[in-house]
Structure 1
Amino acid sequence: MEYQGVLRIRLLRQAKGLTQEEVAHALAMRQPTYSFLESGRLRPSKRQVSLLEAYFGEPVEKLLKPWKPRKEG
């Protein structure tokens, strides 16, 4: 079952010009695990949330906030 909240970590990672592999290495996790977190296929544990908060310098409320694309037009 997919996690319903889309993590904003993809946007934060891309804004920093980092690859999933680079972030996963910095957080001491495997790239597939990080990919699943980023895509929302894996719900993050409390430990993973703490690591993500520290790495990106953003509070959990911002990291877990669903992202919605802007409407064009």
Structure 2
Amino acid sequence: MKSFVHTISGYDALSQLSYSSKMNTSWEFLVALKEKGRETASKWLQGDFKEVGLKSTFDVEEHFFDKF
């Protein structure tokens, strides 16, 4: 059985946050993170969902093995 790999990355949104944001537990911040996650997932669904079950949309070798 062949496996296909997909990922929904929050890197673009999360990389804009400061290190101190990791300690931010305010409700408003958590709700904003949830919304960013939903936006990211919606973009992925619109772009790559059609490939699920057909091919990978994430290159494991490029992201994990070619860096060494």
TM norm structure 1: 0.27
Higher helix share: 2
Looking at CA atoms only, which structure, 1 or 2, has the larger radius of gyration? 2
